[in-house]
Amino acid sequence: MGIVLKQSFKNTVVTFIGFAFGAVNTLFLYTNILDSKYYGLVTFILATGAILMPIMASGAHNALVKYYSAQTDRSKNGFFTLILFSPLLVILPLTLLVWWAHTAIGDFLSIKNALVKDYLWYLFLVGVAMAYFEVFYAWSKVHLRSVFGNFLKEVFGRICASILLVLLYLDIITLDFFLKGIVGIQLLRTLLMKFYAYSLHRPVLSFKFPKEAKTIVGYGLLMVVGGSVALVLLEIDKVMINQFKALENVAYYGVAVYIATSIIVPARAMNQITYPLTANYLNEGNLFELENLYRKTSLTAFIASGILFVLIVLNISDLFLMLPEEYRDGFSIIALIGVAKVLDSLLGNVNAILYYSEYYKWVLVLGVCFAAVTILLNLWFIPLYGIEGAALASFISIFLFNLSKLIFIKLKFGFFPFSKATFKVLATLLLLLALFNMLQFPFHPIVNIVLKSILIGAMYLGILFRFEISEDVTGLLSKWLRRRED
């Protein structure tokens, strides 16, 4: 776990920096500078682009991670060329489809909000940019160099958005330029990722593809389903709210979901390095190390995501005081999505094990079923309960999908991620919730959040260290304390 901890730590730092900029954007700049209707439009554009991303990438980024370690030096150029051109198999026909059916697609998306129709190509370009970004990002991850890509993914775009928002506030740019700039950020980020990936291994175009080229492309196309399922579970709620409610509701929902999504930050950072390692262990047939990685990623991610959930729940009243009034009614959304994100973290690198193993086809079938369940639940709950219904639909779908993955791994591999340490962490988190639930400081909300977070964090780390609940966390804290003593 040495390289995992080292890269994960760097990625976590970078991701939290990105989250800090994102929090400023989401909670303060967007909510105070941009009309909620246009904030909802931006959220809709990015969410739709994210859903289109796996389709346009044609699974090339997944195939790159799965098959890279099996390539010889002679076959790598052909392999990289195959990966580079695979997305075009989907992007080119999709471009023709959008051009031909532009009016029909626009009319469908603008049933409730006519504004959306004018920005159809924005959705498409964001999807293309995100697709090739993931391809080049995977390119760097297989070389175990994920930090710069993580910086571009988590920090760069948010800094650029902050700049655009400030320029818009100062009337230096127009609203139309701002919306074009949001798309431009995605395109620029992809170019920078490409240059970095090529600096690690610049491919020589070779159309002498590996012998298993059909298998690689076929796997990638199947993973379109897998990637789409994952993003349907994450983003479809924002898209479907647009079909039933005014565009402003997408903005209100997006703010609440952003707060809850911070819970998954450490797990996302860790996954940048554990996914390639998982693929290597599967290719080597090293099930002992695979199970060890599964257990450790589960515990480490739960330790991090669990405390973030506790901090959010205990500080949410102060945080709401800093938001415009119309954004303050999202506690139930934050609670539901937050628990769902903790459950995601609790399963560690389960997605990598499933998608890079021989059982990926079965998982895709399960995923399609749960994606359909998500859509049906949203169709049912959003008209009844509004944006809270979207959160409930997401929670039920994510819970059931994670439960099915947990059972599947146990049946096929015999692995189970939980241990006594898992339940010790759970007990500690419940204890913190009970102890600090009634604690309120009479200061400014920011001061209250900082003070309470320091107290909770210190107590949490103290318990983890004192009872040696996680050897990785204990080892990290021990090294830090030794440095302080020296």
- Mean pLDDT of the region 56-65: 86
Range scoring the smallest mean pLDDT among 79-83, 213-217, 270-274, 430-434:
270-274
Compute CA distances 420 → 14, 182, 427, 467, whole Å. 31, 46, 11, 12
Tell me how far the alpha carbon of residue 118 is from its chain's centroid. 28
- Axis crossing angle, helix 287-321 with helix 387-413, rounded to the nearest 10: 160
DSSP secondary structure, 90-140, as one string: HHHHHHHHHHHTHHHHHHHHTSS-GGGGGGHHHHHHHHHHHHHHHHHHHHH
Identify the pLDDT of residue 91: 93
Token code pair at residue 420: 């006594």
Residues composing the chain: 486
User: What confidence category does residue 467 fall into, taking pLDDT thresholds of 50, 70 and 90?
Assistant: confident
In this prediction, what percent of the chain has a pLDDT beyond 70? Answer: 92
- b/e per residue 222-236 (b: at least 16 CB within 10 A): bbbbbbbbbbbbbbb
Q: Is the dihedral of CA 277, 282, 288, 294 positive or negative?
A: positive
- For the segment 206-217, what is each residue's pLDDT rounded down to a tens digit? 778 888 888 888
For residue 236, pLDDT beyond 90: no
Identify the pLDDT of residue 4: 52
For residue 171, pLDDT beyond 90: yes
- Mean pLDDT of the region 147-151: 87
- Mean pLDDT of the region 191-198: 94
Q: Give backbone dihedrals phi and psi of 483, rounded to 5 degrees, phi first.
A: -65, -40
Token code pair at residue 7: 């890269």
For residue 23, pLDDT beyond 70: yes
User: What confidence category does residue 173 fall into, taking pLDDT thresholds of 50, 70 and 90?
Assistant: very high
User: What confidence category does residue 477 fall into, taking pLDDT thresholds of 50, 70 and 90?
Assistant: low
- Mean pLDDT of the region 78-106: 90
Nearest to 208 by CA among 116, 42, 71, 50: 71
> What is this structure's pTM?
0.77
Residue with tokens 């993003």: 231
- Mean pLDDT of the region 321-326: 87
For residue 218, pLDDT beyond 50: yes
For residue 2, pLDDT beyond 70: no
Range scoring the smallest mean pLDDT among 183-187, 250-254, 378-382, 480-484:
480-484
User: What confidence category does residue 1 fall into, taking pLDDT thresholds of 50, 70 and 90?
Assistant: very low
Identify the pLDDT of residue 39: 92
Under 8 Å between Cβ of 470 and 299: yes
For residue 136, pLDDT beyond 90: yes
- For the segment 416-455, what is each residue's pLDDT rounded down to a tens digit? 999 999 999 999 999 999 999 888 888 889 999 999 999 9
Under 8 Å between Cβ of 156 and 190: no
Range scoring the smallest mean pLDDT among 195-204, 228-237, 256-265, 318-327:
228-237
